Amino acid sequence: MAAMGQTVVERFLRYVQIDTQSNEKSSATPSTEKQKDLGRVLVEELRELGLDAEMDEHGYVYSLVPSNSDKNVPTIAYLAHQDTSPEASGANVKPIVHDYEGGDIVLPGDSSVVIRAEDNPELVKLAGGQVITSDGTTLLGADDKAGVAEIMDIVHYLVKHPEIKHGPIRIVFTVDEEIGRGVDKIDLDKVGAVAAYTFDGSEAGTYEVETFSADLAVVTCIGNNIHPGFATGKMINAIKMAGAFLDRLPKDRLSPETTAGRVGFVHPYVLEGGVDKTTCRVLLRSFETPELREQEKLLREIAAEVEKSFPGGRIEIEVKEQYRNMREQLEHHPEVAEIAREAIVRADLEPVSEPIRGGTDGSRLTAMGLPTPNIFAGGLNFHSVREYAGVETMKKAVEVGVHIARLWEERA
Ligand SMILES: [Zn+2]
| The pLDDT value given to residue 1 | 56
What is the dihedral sign for C-alpha 113, 117, 119, 121?
positive
Confidence category of residue 276, pLDDT binned at 50, 70, 90? very high
Out of 19, 45, 83, 387, the active site residue is 83
Give the whole-angstrom CA distance, residue 234 versus residue 237.
10
> 41-50, 355-364, 383-392: which has the minimum mean pLDDT?
355-364
pLDDT at 273: 97
> What is the rounded average pLDDT for all residues in the chain?
96
- Catalytic position from the list 144, 177, 203, 210: 177
- Residues 290-308 pLDDT 10s: 999 999 999 999 999 999 9
Q: How far apart are CA 145 and CA 312, in angstroms?
A: 53
SS (H, E, C) the chain: CCCCCCCHHHHHHHHCCCCCECCCCCCCCCCCCCHHHHHHHHHHHHHHCCCCEEECCCCCEEEEECCCCCCCCCCEEEEEECCECCCCCCCCCCCEEEECCCCCEECCCCCCCEECHHHCHHHHCCCCCEEEECCCCCCCCHHHHHHHHHHHHHHHHHHHCCCCCCCCEEEEEECCHHHCCCCCCCCHHHHCCCEEEEEEECCCCEEECCECEEEEEEEEEECECCCHHHCCCCCECHHHHHHHHHHCCCCCCCCHHHCCCCCCEEEEEEEEECCCEEEEEEEEEECCHHHHHHHHHHHHHHHHHHHHHCCCCEEEEEEEEEECCCHHHHCCCHHHHHHHHHHHHHCCCCCECCCECCCCHHHHHHHCCCCCCEEECCEECCCCCCCEEEHHHHHHHHHHHHHHHHHHHHHC
Q: Predicted confidence band at 360 (pLDDT cuts at 50, 70, 90)?
A: confident
Confidence of residue 328 (pLDDT cuts 50, 70, 90): confident
pLDDT in tens, 35-86: 999 999 999 999 999 999 999 999 999 999 999 999 999 999 999 999 999 9
Q: Which of 62-71, 120-129, 151-160, 364-373 has the lowest average pLDDT?
A: 364-373
**Could you confirm whether 177 is annotated as catalytic?**
yes
Q: How far apart are the CA of 155 and the centre of ligand 1, in A?
A: 20
CB half-sphere exposure, 233, CA atoms < 13 A: 0
Give the pLDDT confidence score for residue 322 in this predicted structure. Answer: 86
pLDDT tens digits, 158-186: 999 999 999 999 999 999 999 989 999 99
The predicted pLDDT at position 2 comes to: 62
Active site residue 296: no
Instruction: Note the CATH number of domain 8-210+325-411.
Output: 3.40.630.10
Segment 231-237 shows an average pLDDT of 96
pTM: 0.87
Structural domain boundaries in the chain: 8-210+325-411, 213-322
Q: What is the CATH architecture of 213-322?
A: 2-Layer Sandwich (3.30)
